[in-house]
């Protein structure tokens, strides 16, 4: 019975957003909708991404989760508690269960690393020794054992964000909200912070919710993703399914920023960077008689066979790969290749049929 109860709790959502709207009123009395009819559920113990352009409502959404803002319509439920129904005291208690980190770190410059992490525990029920033990454990978790007596100004940006993560975890939260937490960091430091967040998620069981405008961040760490556009939810699903088969125009444009396949237009028609419908230059690919320009994409999980080698060997088709962007997302290959295929008409036809039978998306471009 105990094990079943634990499994049910892990499977249940920790955050439920139900038909939420948020309207802000400006000084001139004009109303502006930041969110409109947004509904989503966030699984307990997962890593959830919320992505969108500036002004899409991402930060507003997580401010509703921790009760900094109240929804104008709809409900926000966190771990079984409706945030809008809580009084001031109850909300303070709930916020202790929700940690948060920001783009600018928000550390206290006049306090040491140790004291920055200790600060959230000043009103806790823990004894003095227990508090210090907690801070020491968190310093070890974020890899800053040797920086306890340093000041924020003596640390790199990545180290400061590690301190911020440790401070956010001090009160032992169930949820960690990350608002553009890696936007001010260089690419290598960003990857190290994302790996740390994954380790926090796995070792402590904390649900991590990441707000970002970078699809590469979502691809690196998240299990599921929601895409916001002008305050509306336009797409939601597992990271693999969203990358493999994006439905919304905005999602496709985000994914294009992480993929070499975005350069496909230059191969086929010379590209159209200004979006005026007129090619910017001459096509980079000129086919000889009997050649075809073919794009293949992995769109389903479970495909691990050396398919291109099989096509070459079995069907006598030569493939000159021009673009390739295959990587692993959620433990499965995703992406695709584009190349010039040459061989007999029958061989190419059979090769295409073979790939489609393997759940590979095949498109003959020329």
* pLDDT tens, residue by residue, 34-90: 999 999 999 999 999 999 988 899 999 999 999 999 999 999 999 999 999 999 999
Domain boundary pick from 233, 256, 279: 256
Q: What burial class does residue 358 get, using C-beta atoms within 10 Å of its C-beta: 0-12 exposed, 13-18 middle, 19+ buried?
A: middle
Q: Please tell me the distance from the alpha carbon of residue 83 to that of residue 91, in angstroms, as a whole number.
A: 7
Q: What is the domain range of residue 21?
A: 9-256
Are 165 and 142 in contact by the 8 Å Cβ rule? The answer is yes
Lowest mean pLDDT among 40-44, 150-154, 300-304, 309-313: 300-304
pLDDT at 182 over 50: yes
Last residue within a domain, chosen from 234, 256, 278: 256
Residue 2 within any structural domain of the chain: no
Same domain, 306 and 201: no
Start-to-end Cα distance in the chain: 61
Q: Identify the band that residue 183 occupies on the pLDDT scale cut at 50, 70 and 90.
A: confident
Both 82 and 208 in a single domain? Answer: yes
What pLDDT shows up at residue 6? Answer: 45
93 and 183 assigned to the same domain: yes
**Domain co-membership, 229 together with 129:** yes
103 and 79 in a common domain: yes
Can you say whether residue 57 is alpha, beta or left, with left for phi > 0 and alpha for psi between -120 and 50 degrees? Answer: left
Q: What percent of the chain has a predicted confidence (pLDDT) above 70? A: 88
91-100, 213-222, 283-292, 357-366, range with the lowest pLDDT: 283-292
Mean pLDDT for the chain overall: 86
Task: Kindly state whether residues 241 and 315 are assigned to the same domain.
Answer: no
1 belongs to a structural domain: no
CATH number at residue 84: 3.40.50.300
Do 16 and 141 reside in the same domain of the chain? Answer: yes
How many independent structural domains does the chain possess?
2
In a domain, residue 235? The reply is: yes
Q: Lowest-confidence range among 127-141, 144-158, 242-256?
A: 242-256
């Amino acid at each position: 019975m105990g094990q079943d109860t634990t499994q049910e709790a892990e499977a249940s959502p920790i955050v439920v957003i139900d038909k939420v709207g948020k309207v802000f009123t400006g000084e001139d009395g004009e109303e502006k909708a930041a969110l409109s009819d947004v509904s989503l559920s966030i699984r307990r113990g997962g890593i959830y991404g919320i992505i969108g352009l500036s002004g899409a409502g991402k930060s507003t959404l997580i401010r509703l989760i921790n009760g900094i803002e109240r929804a104008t319509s709809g409900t926000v439920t966190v771990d079984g508690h409706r945030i809008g129904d809580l009084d001031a005291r109850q909300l303070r208690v709930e916020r202790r269960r929700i940690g948060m980190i920001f783009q600018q770190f928000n550390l206290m410059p006049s306090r040491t690393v140790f004291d920055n992490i200790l600060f959230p525990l000043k009103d806790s029920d823990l004894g003095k020794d227990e508090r210090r033990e907690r801070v020491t454990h968190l310093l070890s978790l974020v890899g800053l054992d040797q920086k306890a007596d340093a000041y924020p100004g003596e640390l790199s940006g990545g180290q400061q964000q590690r301190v911020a993560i440790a401070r956010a975890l001090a009160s032992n939260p169930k949820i960690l909200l990350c608002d553009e937490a890696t936007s001010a960091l260089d690419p290598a430091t960003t990857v190290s912070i994302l790996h740390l967040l994954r380790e926090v998620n796995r070792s402590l069981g904390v649900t991590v919710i990441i707000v970002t405008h970078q699809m590469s961040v979502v691809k690196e760490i998240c299990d599921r993703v929601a895409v916001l556009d002008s305050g509306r939810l336009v797409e939601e699903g597992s990271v693999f399914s969203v990358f493999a088969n994006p439905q919304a125009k905005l999602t496709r444009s985000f994914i294009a920023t992480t993929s070499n396949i975005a350069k496909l237009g230059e191969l086929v028609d010379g590209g159209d960077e200004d979006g005026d419908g007129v090619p910017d230059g001459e096509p980079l690919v000129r086919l000889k008689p009997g050649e075809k320009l073919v794009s293949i994409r992995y769109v389903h999980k479970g495909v691990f066979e050396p398919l291109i080698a099989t096509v070459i060997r079995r069907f006598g088709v030569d493939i000159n790969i021009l673009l390739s962007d295959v990587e692993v997302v959620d433990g499965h290959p995703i992406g695709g290749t584009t190349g010039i295929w040459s061989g007999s008409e029958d061989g190419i036809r059979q090769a295409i049929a073979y790939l489609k039978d393997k759940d590979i998306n095949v498109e003959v471009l020329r």
